[in-house]
Every structure is written in C-alpha cells, then in structure tokens.
Amino acid sequence: MKVVIVGGVAGGATAAARIRRLDETAQIVLLERSGFISYANCGLPYYIGGTIQDADALTLQTPESFWNRFQIEARVSHEVLAINRGSKHITVQELCTGKTYTESYDKLILSPGAKPIRPQLTGIHNEKVYTLRTVEDTFRIQKAAATSGCKTAVIVGGGFIGVEMAENLQGLGIDVTLVEKQTQILGQFDNDMASFLHAHMKDKGIRLLLGKSVAGFSTTDQKLIVNIENTEPIQTDIVVLAIGVVPDSKLAKDAELALGQKESIAVNDQMQTSDPDIYAVGDAVEVTHQVTGAKTIVSLAGPANKQGRIAADVICGLDSRYAGTAASSVLKVFDMTAASTGINERTARAANIHYEKVILSPASHASYYPGGEVMTMKVLFEKESQRILGAQIIGGDGVDKRIDVLATAIQANMQVSALGELDLAYAPPYSSAKDPVNMAGFIAENVIFGKIKQFYYEDIESLPHDGSIILLDTRTDGEYKRGHAEGFETHIPLDSLRKRMHELDQTKPIYAMCQSGLRSYIACRILTQNGYDCYNFAGGYRFYKSVHLENQSSTQAFPCGMEKIE
C-alpha cells in the first residue's frame, strides 16, 4: 500500500507516523511545500518574542529524522499542484528547481491547513505587511522586529495570533497597537469576559482600537501608514496581519471533492472525503461541533492531531471515528490565562438554544495558602436537561486545569449539577476542598432547583429606578466606600443583615450584590426564608466593574481578574 500525504505539521505528520506504527510495510510519502515538515506552529510567536531562543526547537521532525525513525520519505519544498482522481496520481512541483513530476497513490491524505486572509486593500502587498503561518514567516518577522529601526508595530486582528504577537512584540520593547474590527478581541469569549483581557492588555501598554476597520496601507518617509476608517491614520514600522484564516482547499476544489462551509473540505467521521480513497485532516476540513451538532471549522492543533490519527487508523483497517470538537482552547495573555470550551452566549442565541449561566470568582487555591489568584468563570447550561453548553475562564494559575475538566464534562455529556459531585484532587497549594469546578456545579444546582434567582449586568439598565425595588450592596463598609454599582444606594453588610432586615421593605423585590456573588447569595437565602423576593447579581461587583468600565470606554486601570488573595 502506498500512502501519499499532502502537508505536514500537526495533521499530516501525525498521520504519517501513525500509519508506520500500524503498518511496517506501507510506502509513505509526505510532501510539504514549506521547508519544514513538522514544526511547533503554536510556538512561532514566542520565537519572535525571544521566549523560545533556539530556532531548531521549533522543528519537531526533519526529513532525515523522519526517515531514520519511521522510514517515511518526506520531501520539503514540494508543492502538489493537482490531483487526478481517475488515475490516482498527483502532480508535484519541486519549488527549488521548478521541475514537475507525477506521483501515484493508493490512499491520499490532504493536510493543507489554512491560509491567512489577505483582503484586497490598497498597499496590502507592502513588504512591511506580514502574515504568520510558516517557520519562514516567523524568521522574516523576527528579523524585521530585531532591527534597530523597528520601534512600532500595528497588529491587525485580535484572534489567537494577533494577541500573542502583540504580547511578544511588546516584550521586545516595541510600541504595539492592536486594531480589531469587532468590539472585542478573541471572539470565542463573550464581551463581558473579554473586558478583563482588554483592561489587562491596556495595563501592559498595548493600545487597543476595537470596532475599527483597516482601510489600507501607504508609505511615507520610510514609514508605513495604516489607514483606519473613521480614525486618524497610524504611522508604524511593521504590520502583522492576523485577521483570520480560511481553509486552503484549492486542491480539493479543483479535484471536485465535496466542499463544506467556507469552502472547507467535507469529510465523514472517519475523515474520508467524497472520494473514499482520499482523506482530509486539520484546519482545512469541516467538522461537527459537539455542543450544537452544527458543521464548523476549527483551526486548532489538538483536533488536527486527532484527525490525522483517525485517518491513519481507517487506512490501516481500524474502525476509528472522530467525535467532533468542543473547540477547547487556552491562551496566554501576558500574565493572564484565557480559556474556553463549548459555545458562548452569542452562539447559543444564534443556535436558538435556551440557556442559563452562572458566573463566579473563585480562588485558584486555598485562600489561606500564599499566592492565590482570583479567576472569573462563566458556565452555560440548559436548565431543563442540565446539559453543559460551554465555559469561559480568565485568570492566572489553575485556569487551564479547570477548563480541561469542563471540556471533559461536555464530551462525557455530564449534567451541570454533577460537577459538584466530582472528586477532584485537593491540597492547599493547588485547589480548595470545594474546587472552582465543584462550586460552578453547586451554583448551577441552586439555580436549577430554585434556591436562588439571578440577575445579570445586562439586566441592570432595565431595572426600574422609581423606588419600586431595592438595590442592595452587602459588602463591608470599606468595600462600599471604595466604589459601588450605580444605583446600589442601600448598603447593609451581610453580617449585619439579620438585625437590620427590618430596614428593608418586604413588599419590594431586592436585587443584591457583593464583591464576588457569594455574600449576596447568602443574603438572598436569608431574605428569601424571611419572606423577601431576592435576586442575586451573578459575578459580583468585580465583574460589574470590569464590564461597566469597558462599556464606558474608560482607560482607567482596575482589578481585572489577577487579584492576589490576602
């Protein structure tokens, strides 16, 4: 059996190595148009920023190491130009010589990846406008950023690459402006959660221009001018274009293979295309979302690796199937960590899914053990079925392991209340006896069974201000004096509530708030059992403050999820 693989990196290289482990006799040829067959794609921004200093560390396999270990023939700088499905041949060009030749196959795996979007803007082909996809791109950007004349940079796009490049270029002492067409960075998060990241990036010196579109580029006095709609142009030394990627599916399209949304390659759960002898994996393929059941495109290394393994299994006679993706991701944003899994509120609304949410601010580990940090968690679920829909967490230490637990819970079809029953590892330096994931389950259970009624930031504007309700702050005197939410003029600290309850009109609904949502929850339990109608503010004042200052377009620095636990 002869297997030809088009494209390396996560999907293609994984498939090649797996086939060899399963079939020692197979002839395996891997063709890669760049100069590197397998490299740490996600590490590229960190080489530019100097965190990874050895360029060789980016290369996971070379043609020589692939041959020596796996007897796989890997040819770099070889671009596949066409697929002839009838004769089961491909046309290949050696990029170094321009020579073309044909290569036969029994089974073909396409792993072409995704290519950066380059819109038709004036000046888009200026040599100082870079995109980041390959190791070669990395070296070009690194060389430009390292020159003594590079003092400023504009990042266009606020996705993974844009945010990582902003951090890494800023770490080189370059003044960075990030321009994003949407009103927030990192679209997998809801805007309220992204507000913590916006504040943190501003605090680190990144200039954010959100809700702004780049209109084109021009040059003057050896500088690059970034023209922005309805905003003053920006003069800069380099631009990194990171506005997103699209499936690199030209080969498949020209071969008349079935395509999915955004011209991605359509595959079944065994990674087969519409031609049973051709498979496709990685960023170019259409997959099924585990939560919505809808077809989607996910450009992440984890899914690509799994898909490469599954294609290899099927080719070698195993019955492996891809279970779909929850699009779990984690990202370093300076000294914060941002992680998500499943879907966010926007996606739930677009899919017509009726959802509930809980927002909490737990500590990364036991509060009495030094060094703890507060994280912000949002968990979405269906109230009736208790199906977990998604989660977003922003903070510092411990964010990654909590999102992994929640991603596992989604794939295992756990009910949200069952999160409270999980037996998770505990020691004071690592967690609390009631882990943040447990706490999310407890809160969701209280909502499901009517132990608490919640209200959210988006509800505050519509609350009546005619005296018909009571807006109650249950924090301490010192906390209240340092700032409180607009309209929350009634202040009774939680520990004084029982003896001062008579001050509250029992005929009026009470909307309670504290710093994180815990004390106001306790206050609502006290009041509810004494005949009051009480609603608890999800997320607490720290969440309110972050979102409110964001919505007010304030540049003031404020606590944004990295508070130290005293």
Tens digits of residue pLDDT in 62-73: 899 999 999 999
The confidence score (pLDDT) of residue 222 equals 79
Mean predicted lDDT score pLDDT of the chain: 94
Q: Is the pLDDT of residue 559 over 50?
A: no
Neighbours of 271 (CB within 10 A): 31
Pairing verdict, β 376-381 and 388-395: antiparallel
The C-alpha atoms of residue 148 and residue 9 are separated, in whole angstroms, by 33
Which of these is catalytic: 42, 96, 150, 316?
42
Share of the chain above pLDDT 90, in %: 90
170: exposed, middle or buried (C-beta count within 10 Å: 0-12, 13-18, 19+)? buried
The C-alpha atoms of residue 558 and residue 547 are separated, in whole angstroms, by 11
Q: Are 105 and 88 in contact (CB under 8 A)?
A: yes
The confidence score (pLDDT) of residue 37 equals 87
Residue 94, beta-bridge partner list? 78
pLDDT tens track for 305-355:
999 999 999 999 999 999 999 999 999 999 999 999 999 999 999 999 999
Residue 179's SS3 state is strand
Pairing verdict, β 376-381 and 470-473: unpaired
Instruction: State which amino acid sits at residue 253.
Output: K
Q: Are 152 and 170 in contact (CB under 8 A)?
A: no
The confidence score (pLDDT) of residue 561 equals 37
The C-alpha atoms of residue 270 and residue 555 are separated, in whole angstroms, by 50
Q: How far is CA 559 from CA 206, 300, 477, 480, 549, in A?
A: 17, 31, 19, 16, 11
Q: Are 529 and 552 in contact (CB under 8 A)?
A: no
42 is catalytic: yes
Mean pLDDT on 407-414 = 97
Q: Are 378 and 348 in contact (CB under 8 A)?
A: no
Mean pLDDT on 357-373 = 95
Neighbours of 98 (CB within 10 A): 7
Q: Is the pLDDT of residue 471 over 50?
A: yes
Q: Is the pLDDT of residue 555 over 90?
A: no
Determine phi and psi for 300, rounding to 5 degrees: -135, 150
The C-alpha atoms of residue 208 and residue 179 are separated, in whole angstroms, by 6
Count of residues making up the chain: 566
String of DSSP letters for 337-403: EEEEEE--HHHHHHTT---EEEEE--BSS-TTSTT-BB-EEEEEE-TTT-BEEEEEEEESTTHHHHH
The confidence score (pLDDT) of residue 560 equals 38
Neighbouring residues of 311: CB distance < 8 A, sequence distance ≥ 6: 15, 109, 270, 271, 279, 280, 281
The confidence score (pLDDT) of residue 104 equals 98
Q: Is the pLDDT of residue 554 over 70?
A: no
Q: Are 485 and 460 in contact (CB under 8 A)?
A: yes
Q: Is the pLDDT of residue 77 over 70?
A: yes
The confidence score (pLDDT) of residue 553 equals 60
Q: Is the pLDDT of residue 401 over 80?
A: yes
Confidence of residue 107 (pLDDT cuts 50, 70, 90): very high
pLDDT tens track for 221-251:
778 999 999 999 999 999 999 999 999 999 9
